[in-house]
Amino acid sequence: MGSVYKRGRTWWLKYKDAAGVWKPEATRAATKTEAKALLHEIERRVERQRLGLEPLSLNPEGWTVADLMQWWLDTYSRHSPSHEKNLGTVRRQILGTALAEKPLQHAQAGDVEQLLQAMESDYSASTINHVRQFLVGAFNRAREAGKWLGANPAEPVRTRRGAEQVGDILRPEELAPFLAALEPGQRPVFATAIFTGLRKGELCGLQKTDVDLTRRLLVARRSYARPFPKSRKQRVVRFPDELVPFLEHAIATFPGPWLFPDPDGGMRTVTWQPEDILRRALKRAGIVTGYTHVCRRSTCRFSEDRPQDEIRPCPRCGFKLWPKGNVRAIRFHDLRHTYASVLLMSGAALVSVQRLLGHSDPKITERRYGHLLPDFMASEVNRLRFGLDRLAPGRLGTSLLHPADPGKGEAGTPPVSREVPASLLAGCRGLEPLASGVTGRRYNRLN
């Protein structure tokens, strides 16, 4: 039998483990009764372990949450392309927190929830969900490897839902001016992004042997140097005839095996920032939301926003104002949005676009891309036609409400228009159905 004793302000337990070894253990019990209840629970667990009904330890390695996360980083994350990002997030958000110091068997769902709650004021829902997913993945991998034999405390914790962002795209009429504003050597990779919807990593991972000009096909085999795309499935993408001359130029002109290499002929890496090239080309093409006019005298610092780009003198010092175009916040990935949205707007089947993009579910395609072009559903919503536009404020003429010869109607009947049915004006309260025979005295009594 075990025993309970007090040392200072702490109640201690002494009991035999499943191997028959006496072990002392400090508790947080406030009273002797609570300490005896804990001892009883431990002795029950030890008996189950002795009979083989329960593992000897849920945490055979004696890990804390910090030890678990470091093991996950070294064993699983290190081989992924996003390891550096994972490492930074785990170090900033998990290691060094109160949760990280807890032994695995003491970590509860409430501890994970408190960690995520503390992040909500400073971080986006996406970052918070990444932290939760790292914890879920680390506990699951530890269970698979036999390093942890208990439940996963992070799985019951809810994911955060952030506000959906409506992305921007290049309109079809803007594509030609945009490509014309690029340097000739820059056009093939941007044209391929527009005509195939490939991600940046998939474009950088394309080799010349992945292109079949005769059959108008290319194979997305990798993302950067990783031997598979984001979806972990290689896919064949068909491209239109209009892209062929851009690909022919890339194959014939660029050195090395890569279709879109860096200046040294090697594969482009994640450090490549095509957004800078994209936005400068948009400025040169005049695809801007307006202009910021800045004084060319450095000591004046006058600036103002205007819709036009005309050169004019500074009202403060008389120097010329230099107009700088303000481009929309378009990313390179928004060319993929452009590809999907224009296909959907042109009547392409949702399932076809889903397969071309490499999505696992058509619902992902519809949710992400179907709403990006406001004109996409214009023809559908315009099916709603009731002829009510004549009743809009400012369109109502006197002839609608006060006809020249209203005639003699039943006493109590309001004046009606010869153009608009009496039932519509008399009982119009939104789109409620109108009962027949509700005019005259009886109508007045009812209303």
d(CA 13, CA 23): 8
Host domain of residue 307: 288-326
Share of the chain residues as helix, strand and coil, in percent rounded to the nearest 5: 40, 10, 45
> Is residue 275, in this structure, part of any structural domain at all?
yes
14/96 same-domain check = no
Place of tokens 């400073």: 122
Give mean pLDDT, residues 296-309.
Answer: 87
d(CA 227, CA 276): 28
212/255 same-domain check = yes
> Is residue 268, in this structure, part of any structural domain at all?
yes
> Is residue 156, in this structure, part of any structural domain at all?
no
182/272 same-domain check = yes
293/226 same-domain check = no
Q: What is the pLDDT of residue 410?
A: 47
> Is residue 115, in this structure, part of any structural domain at all?
yes
How far is it between the farthest Cα atoms of the chain?
110
Q: What is the pLDDT of residue 102?
A: 93
208/264 same-domain check = yes
181/222 same-domain check = yes
Q: Find which of 15-19, 58-62, 289-293, 384-388 is predicted with most confidence, using mean pLDDT.
A: 289-293
Residue 260: CATH number of its domain:
1.10.443.10
Number of residues in the chain: 447
> Is residue 342, in this structure, part of any structural domain at all?
no
Asked if pLDDT for residue 19 goes beyond 70, the answer is: no
Asked if pLDDT for residue 215 goes beyond 90, the answer is: yes
Asked if pLDDT for residue 433 goes beyond 50, the answer is: no
pLDDT tens-digit map of 351-388: 888 888 888 777 777 777 655 445 556 666 677 777 77
pLDDT tens-digit map of 323-357: 888 888 889 999 988 888 888 777 777 788 888 88
Give burial (CB, 10 Å; 0-12/13-18/19+) of 263.
Answer: exposed
92/25 same-domain check = no
Give burial (CB, 10 Å; 0-12/13-18/19+) of 321.
Answer: buried
pLDDT, the chain, mean: 82
d(CA 279, CA 406): 65
Q: What is the pLDDT of residue 437?
A: 46
pLDDT-derived band at 405 (thresholds 50, 70, 90) equals: low
Query: Which of the 8 DSSP states describes residue 160?
Result: P
Place of tokens 């695809």: 287
d(CA 214, CA 233): 24
Per the structure, the count of domains in the chain is 5
Specify the amino acid at residue 113: E
* Phi (first) and psi of residue 429, to 5 degrees: -140, 75
Q: How far is CA 335 from CA 179, 233, 341, 408, in A?
A: 12, 21, 10, 67
Q: What is the pLDDT of residue 193?
A: 94
263/307 same-domain check = no
> Is residue 88, in this structure, part of any structural domain at all?
yes
Q: What is the pLDDT of residue 97?
A: 93
pLDDT tens-digit map of 240-283: 999 999 999 999 999 999 999 999 899 998 889 999 999 999 99
pLDDT-derived band at 446 (thresholds 50, 70, 90) equals: very low
189/250 same-domain check = yes
256/296 same-domain check = no
> Is residue 310, in this structure, part of any structural domain at all?
yes
pLDDT tens-digit map of 175-188: 999 999 999 999 99
Sheet with 321-326: list strands edge to edge: 303-306, 290-295, 321-326
199/292 same-domain check = no
Q: What is the pLDDT of residue 356?
A: 82
d(CA 300, CA 214): 60
d(CA 168, CA 329): 7
Is the pTM above the cut of 0.75? Answer: no
pLDDT-derived band at 435 (thresholds 50, 70, 90) equals: very low
d(CA 92, CA 255): 42
d(CA 254, CA 59): 56
Comparing CA positions, the residue from 315, 318, 358 lying closest to residue 336 is 358
72/130 same-domain check = yes
First to last CA, the chain: 86
